[in-house]
Chains A and B, each alone.
Chain A
Amino acid sequence: MAKNRAATNRRRNRAPKVDIKGWYRHHLMCARSALMGLIRQPISSALTWLVIAIALLLPTLFYIALQAINTQTQAWQEGGQITLYLNNTTTIDQGQALANELRARPEVSTVEYISKQQAWDSFRSVLSLQSALELDENPLPASIVVVPIEQSMADLEALILMLTDLADVEDIQIDLAWIERLNNVLDLIESIVQVLSIILATAVLLIVGNTIRLSIESRKAEIQIIKLLGATDNYVRRPFLYLGFWYGLSGGLAAWLLLTLISLNFQNQLDTFLASYGLTAPAIWLNVREFGILLLSSILVSLMGARIALWRHLKDTDPQ
Chain B
Amino acid sequence: MIHFDQVSKRYDGGFEALSSLSFNIDKGEFVFLTGHSGAGKSTLLKLITAIEKPSSGQIRVDGIQLKTMNRRDIAFYRRKLGIVHQDHQLLMNHSVFDNVAQPLIVAGENPSDIKRRVHAALDKVGLLSREKFKPIQLSGGEQQRVGIARAVVKKPDVILADEPTGNLDPALSRDIMSLFAQFNDIGTTVLIASHDLGLIARLNYRVLSLKQGRMITSPFASGAA
Contact = CB atoms under 8 A, between A and B. Distances in A.
B76 A12 contact: no
Contact of A22 (B69, B81, B108, B150): B108
A21 B111 CA distance: 11
16 contacts: A13-B64, A13-B69, A22-B108, A25-B108, A26-B105, A221-B92, A228-B78, A228-B89, A229-B106, A230-B78, A231-B75, A232-B71, A232-B72, A232-B75, A235-B75, A320-B51
Contact of B106 (A5, A224, A226): A226
B154 to A, nearest CB: 9
Contact of A15 (B76, B78, B93): B76
Interface string B109-132: 111000000000000000000000
B107 interface: yes
Interface string A137-157: 000000000000000000000
B83 A228 contact: yes
Contact of B91 (A225, A232, A235): A225
B17 to A, nearest CB: 14
B102 A229 contact: yes
B75 A2 contact: no
Contact of B76 (A2, A225, A230, A318): A230
A8 B63 contact: yes
A51 to B, nearest CB: 27
B72 A21 contact: no
Interface of A: 2, 5-6, 8-10, 12-16, 19, 21-23, 25-26, 221-222, 224-233, 235, 318-320
B158 interface: no
Contacts of A5: 65, 68
B164 interface: no
Contacts of A221: 92
Given A9-B64, A9-B69, A227 B108 contact: no
B16 interface: no
Contact of B72 (A19, A25, A26, A233): A233
A318 B107 CA distance: 19
The list of the 5 closest CB pairs from A to B, nearest first, reads A22-B108, A230-B79, A230-B78, A232-B75, A19-B108
Interface of B: 49, 51, 62-65, 68-69, 71-73, 75-79, 81, 83, 85, 89-93, 102-103, 105-111, 150
Given A5-B65, A225-B91, A233 B51 contact: no
A2 B78 contact: no
A229 B103 contact: yes
Nearest to B77: A13
Contacts of A19: 107-109
B62 to A, nearest CB: 7
B41 to A, nearest CB: 17
